[in-house]
Amino acid sequence: MGFNFRRFREDRDKAFTAFVMSDDWDAINEYCAKYGVKMPNDPDVVAAGVYKAVQEVKDIPDEVKVKAMIKCMKLGFTPFIEPEWRG
């Protein structure tokens, strides 16, 4: 059977949206457990990571992205994933 990328994207988008809109930690914890995603111990780092990742997901609505951006900045993080520059 193979990995179901469609289900993965649906699960990710649902978990990210629930976290941003409702601070639903259960959704993030379940998603991470299901897909073997290791979470940092610092909840602010986890939250900022989700808020930043949301900006890069094309199927997540703009209202979710804006809320994630605001929450990320309130935590003291920049809301976007900065490109890695190699010299």
Q: Where are the domains of the chain?
A: 5-74
Predicted confidence at residue 38, as pLDDT, reads: 95
The span from the CA of 55 to the CA of 64, in Å, is 9
23: left (phi over 0), alpha (psi -120 to 50) or beta: left
Predicted confidence at residue 81, as pLDDT, reads: 85
Predicted confidence at residue 8, as pLDDT, reads: 96
The pTM score is: 0.89
The span from the CA of 38 to the CA of 74, in Å, is 24
Predicted confidence at residue 75, as pLDDT, reads: 97
Predicted confidence at residue 87, as pLDDT, reads: 59
Predicted confidence at residue 84, as pLDDT, reads: 75
State which residues of the chain have pLDDT below 70.
85-87
Q: Is 2 in a helix, a strand, or coil?
A: coil
